[in-house]
Amino acid sequence: MRAPATPPVIAPGHTFGTVTDKITSIVLTNKTPLGWWAGFLFVSMFAGLLAVSLTYLVLTGVGIWGNNQPIGWAFDITNFVWWIGIGHAGTLISAILLLFKQTWRTSINRFAEAMTLFAVVCAGIFPLFHTGRPWLAYWMVPYPNTMNVWPQFKSPLIWDVFAVSTYGLVSLLFWFVGLIPDLATLRDRATGRASRMIYGMLAMGWRGSARHWHRYETAYLLLAGLATPLVVSVHSVVSLDFAVSVIPGWHTTLFPPYFVAGAIYSGFAMVLTLVIPIRKFYGMEDFITMRHLQNMAKVLLVTGLMVGYGYTVEAFMAWYSANRYEGFMMWNRMTGPYWWTYVLLILCNVVTPQTLWFKRVRGSVPALFVISLVVNVGMWLERFVIVVTSLHRDFLPSSWGRFSPTIWDWSTYVGTIGLFLTLLFLFLRFLPMISIFEMRTLLPAAKVTEEA
């Protein structure tokens, strides 16, 4: 254990009862807070906007977006990578930090896993709907068919199908397995017949016997062990969509680790963005303490430096390669028509997080909130810069072009944010946002020590 100087992961004075009461009272209440209703209605409007955008997209065609030749990928893939990246923090928090036995993960893991799941849902929309004929997307799945045709397993876009679907499935499984003991708690505490039935069915007859717990812990640890290589491989596969190509600015061996670092960076930023208002609104400061926020800030700082290293190496290699296309690519990023996106990207992703070196910044909730928002924007810009500036000017000057997003590019993007938040609101209302049983194990009363 560290010196007692570090703030605790759970505020003192709590017992098993108070922890359970506090978390379940949010779910098992007949009085839904007005703020929840207001927020839910607001964000579900944007989810509706997504439905409208996608319907219009399918009815009219992908030409409603600003994509063109040579820029065949723009907002669609930018948003896809952004969302997938956001999802990765959830698995990092729940799986990797579990393997490292980090107790501070406990009060944010449930929430982060839900975030992963909803981010994967939003991400999954883009690979599906950026195709010209989304109704034939099942052709990317290897199944015996009357055409005797199978997917091309050399394409990273097919790897994407496997990576994202596996990732979604394992995340769902991990999240659900983690929920089972808590669903049993909700079942036992619920008073309404319907809610007892629903939570009872979801809890699948969990009784919490020693044998249950023993197997549970083994299964959970195994899942964590499986999910960890997934985090690394899934975003690496996503990065290979670019790195496998021949485009200057894409064909880079640095991409797999650099994308994963970026994913964790943006993911932690999103966790901070969401956790700060939620802990305030639901009064969860006892469970999500300054220690959590500070630790997340430290992860932000570390991954931010890795991303910064990535930018440096990219620029260095552009010069060191002595390849005129590579060199021009970097020069174009810095001084071409999209120079401001690159400058903003450096400001958001490299300059801003340097403030996190200071304890005063790490200790200030408003500062962390602002920084996390800035990083979210910065990481979106990173993907935009990689996708668009590499495509719009490459080998042949006769195929140079420009990209400007249309209203539908924006509405689809904003719509997925709406969908994400809608799902998040439903999660907050109907499921325990903090793992109750894991919180109980953190209490002093749960420790069996020699002195006691």
Partner 1 sequence: MAQIFHRSTNTISRVSLFGVVFVIAGLLWLIAQVHRSPWSTDAHVAKEQPIQFSHERHVGGNGIDCRYCHTSVEASRFAGIPPTKTCMNCHSEIFASSPFLRPVHDSFEDDRAIEWTRVHDLPDFVHFDHSIHVSKGVGCTTCHGPVDRMPLIAQQHSLQMEWCLDCHRRPEAFVRPRSAVFSVSYQPPANQLEIGRRLVDQYQIQKLTNCSTCHQ
Q: Which is nearer to partner 1, 203 or 433 (CB)?
A: 203
Q: Which is nearer to partner 1, 149 or 448 (CB)?
A: 149
- Residues 210 and 442: their CA atoms lie apart, in Å, by 18
Total of chain residues touching partner 1, rule CB under 8 A: 11
Q: Is 206 helix (H, G, I), strand (E, B) or coil?
A: coil
Chain position carrying tokens 């379940």? 24
Q: Which two tokens stand for residue 404?
A: 């400007």
Contacts (CB under 8 A) with partner 1, residues 374-413? none
Q: Which two tokens stand for residue 340?
A: 């401001």
Mention every residue, 6+ apart, whose C-beta is less than 8 A from residue 251: 243, 244, 245
Output the smallest distance, CB 203 to partner 1, in A.
Answer: 10
CB 184 within 8 A of CB 203: yes
Output the smallest distance, CB 329 to partner 1, in A.
Answer: 33
CB 420 within 8 A of CB 97: no
CB atoms within 10 A of CB 64: 17
CB 113 within 8 A of CB 90: yes
Output the smallest distance, CB 194 to partner 1, in A.
Answer: 11
Residues 3, 30, 132, 148: which binds partner 1 (CB under 8 A)? 148
Name the one range near partner 1 by CB under 8 A: 73-81, 194-202, 227-235, 346-354: 194-202
Q: Which two tokens stand for residue 302?
A: 């570390």
Q: Is 156 helix (H, G, I), strand (E, B) or coil?
A: helix
Output the smallest distance, CB 143 to partner 1, in A.
Answer: 8
Q: Which is nearer to partner 1, 172 or 313 (CB)?
A: 172
Output the smallest distance, CB 340 to partner 1, in A.
Answer: 44
Name the one range near partner 1 by CB under 8 A: 138-146, 252-260, 351-359, 437-445: 138-146
Residues 200, 257, 327, 336: which binds partner 1 (CB under 8 A)? 200
State yes or no: residue 149 binds partner 1 (CB under 8 A).
yes
- Residues 391 and 393: their CA atoms lie apart, in Å, by 6
Contacts (CB under 8 A) with partner 1, residues 169-188? 187
Output the smallest distance, CB 165 to partner 1, in A.
Answer: 16
Output the smallest distance, CB 177 to partner 1, in A.
Answer: 16
- Residues 52 and 128: their CA atoms lie apart, in Å, by 16
Whats the size of the chain, residue-wise? Answer: 452
Name the one range near partner 1 by CB under 8 A: 64-72, 144-152, 241-249, 282-290: 144-152
State yes or no: residue 152 binds partner 1 (CB under 8 A).
no
Name the one range near partner 1 by CB under 8 A: 1-9, 145-153, 266-274, 429-437: 145-153
Q: Is 309 helix (H, G, I), strand (E, B) or coil?
A: helix
Q: Which two tokens stand for residue 394?
A: 């490459």
Q: Which spans in 190-209 are helix H? A: 193-203
Mention every residue, 6+ apart, whose C-beta is less than 8 A from residue 327: 318, 319, 321
Mention every residue, 6+ apart, whose C-beta is less than 8 A from residue 257: 236, 306
Residues 147, 210, 246, 396: which binds partner 1 (CB under 8 A)? 147
Q: How far is CA 29 from the centre of its chain?
A: 29
> What are phi and psi for residue 2, nearest 5 degrees?
-80, 170
Q: Which two tokens stand for residue 410?
A: 């924006």
Output the smallest distance, CB 196 to partner 1, in A.
Answer: 5
Q: Which is nearer to partner 1, 30 or 148 (CB)?
A: 148
Q: Which two tokens stand for residue 324?
A: 């005129």
Contacts (CB under 8 A) with partner 1, residues 202-221? 205
Q: Which spans in 321-388 are helix H? A: 324-335, 339-346, 359-362, 365-384
Q: Which is nearer to partner 1, 38 or 141 (CB)?
A: 141
Name the one range near partner 1 by CB under 8 A: 17-25, 34-42, 140-148, 157-165: 140-148
Output the smallest distance, CB 26 to partner 1, in A.
Answer: 22
State yes or no: residue 146 binds partner 1 (CB under 8 A).
yes
Q: Which residues contribute to the site for partner 1 (CB under 8 A)?
A: 144-149, 187, 196-197, 200, 205
